[in-house]
Amino acid sequence: MYGFEAMTFNIHGGYLEAIVRGHRSGLLTAADYNNLCQCETLDDIKMHLSATEYGPYLQNEPSPLHTTTIVEKCTLKLVDEYKHMLCQATEPLSTFLEYITYGHMIDNVVLIVTGTLHERDVQELLEKCHPLGMFDSIATLAVAQNMRELYRLVLVDTPLAPYFSECITSEDLDDMNIEIMRNTLYKAYLEDFYQFCQKLGGATAEIMSDLLAFEADRRAVNITINSIGTELTRDDRKKLYSSFGLLYPYGHEELAVCEDIDQVRGVMEKYPPYQPIFGKLSYGESQMLDKAFYEEEVKRLCLSFEQQFHYGVFFAYMRLREQEIRNLMWISECVAQNQKSRVHDSVVFIF
């Protein structure tokens, strides 16, 4: 423990920390997942979830159920819990909680802009947006033709405005530019969140710097793998890497010049925490990499609950709940499409 957090933390943060630890105890266990994986229909899944905290959210849904309905209702539960915590929070916890949603805002902006580019209906796109990343002027994103307009007309009044300083160009929006915009925004967001956590100091700074460093390193690996074989130059690639994390700076230098997945693997195996992740993959294989990263992330998030008097538990809980919703979506899709043999492929057990 650092300094005197134990003396003063509970004045403002004690109630909410107790709430979030209570929510954590409601996460699905391995036994729940084993039962869900044996379900034959989506109604069976609903029946099993009725005994969990998702019960009240699904009880009035008529048959036949759809996967999207299950995911929507489970997400609604997460949003309700988040809003309750945000209403009760005081500074600096309220700002910390708002930071957690900025990633969803970036994803929503990219979704709307990409959908508009492909002439999709704006209303349909808004329904697909994550509710935690909504902001007032999101519907007007569809009018923008390039980055400058996107910033001037819409994003200047949102929390994402400071992150756009590196993105503003007059180039027209196309798929490649939008993907670069997403990664540039994420880089600026992660660096800003990291700096904010460092200012908070103490246990929050230590635990969050580890979790955010892992996120930055994972994004660096994904950017490298996704840009292999594209027109992105080494310098462009390096600009998208965050300026912190275990791989910074020497790992970034090596990743920037990688030409295939095996070279990426060679770089990552020099770093002991990432050796087990790449040890699970056979050579030339990247399909299971996401799952291996998710499993490692879940392990780290669970460990953050072992220490008290810090804000990392709020970040960890939100991420664990999002992972649980991804698990439920995968199981529901496998059941709905009669692909039960693949049901364990992407489920990441939390406890």
In a domain? residue 287: no
Distance CA 32, CA 349 (A): 10
Distance CA 301, CA 348 (A): 13
**Which class for 64: exposed (0-12), middle (13-18), buried (19 or more C-beta within 10 A)?**
exposed
In a domain? residue 211: no
Asked if 268 contacts 277 with a C-beta cutoff of 8 angstroms, the reply is yes
Q: How far is CA 268 from the centre of its chain?
A: 22
Q: So what's the pLDDT on residue 285? A: 64
C-alpha pair distances (Å), 52 with each of 77, 80, 100, 143, 182: 12, 16, 25, 43, 36
- Write the DSSP string, 132-182: GG--TTGGGGGG--BHHHIIIIIGGGSTTGGGGGGT--SSBP-HHHHHHHH
In a domain? residue 201: no
Distance CA 237, CA 49 (A): 43
pTM: 0.93
The amino acid that residue 282 corresponds to is S
Asked if 98 contacts 69 with a C-beta cutoff of 8 angstroms, the reply is no
In a domain? residue 11: no
Q: So what's the pLDDT on residue 248? A: 92
In a domain? residue 272: no
Query: Could you list the pLDDT tens digit for every one of the 351 residues in the chain?
Result: 455 667 788 888 889 999 999 999 999 999 999 999 999 999 999 999 999 999 999 988 888 889 999 999 999 999 999 999 999 999 899 999 999 999 999 999 889 888 888 888 888 888 899 999 998 878 777 777 777 777 777 778 888 888 887 666 666 677 788 888 899 999 999 999 999 999 998 899 999 999 999 999 999 999 999 888 888 888 889 999 999 999 998 999 999 999 888 899 999 999 999 998 888 777 656 668 888 999 999 999 999 999 889 999 999 999 999 999 999 999 999 999 988 888 888 889 987
Asked if 7 contacts 208 with a C-beta cutoff of 8 angstroms, the reply is no
Phi, psi of 331 (to 5 degrees): -60, -45
Residue recorded with tokens 């912190």: 244
Q: Say which residues have a Cβ less than 8 Å from residue 248's Cβ, sequence separation at least 6.
A: 216, 241, 242
Distance CA 132, CA 139 (A): 15
Distance CA 33, CA 39 (A): 10
Helix 67-88 to helix 14-24 angle (10° resolution) is 160
Positive or negative, the Cα torsion across 211, 217, 223, 228?
negative
Total count of domains within the chain: 1
In a domain? residue 162: yes
* DSSP helix/strand/coil, 70: helix
In a domain? residue 281: no
Distance CA 185, CA 192 (A): 11
In a domain? residue 97: yes
Positive or negative, the Cα torsion across 308, 312, 317, 320?
negative
* DSSP helix/strand/coil, 54: coil
CA atoms in the 13 A half-sphere facing the CB of 280: 14
What residue numbers bound the domain in which 97 lies? 89-185
Helices (H), the chain: 5-12, 14-24, 30-37, 42-49, 55-58, 67-88, 93-117, 122-128, 147-149, 175-200, 202-227, 234-239, 250-256, 261-268, 275-279, 289-303, 312-336
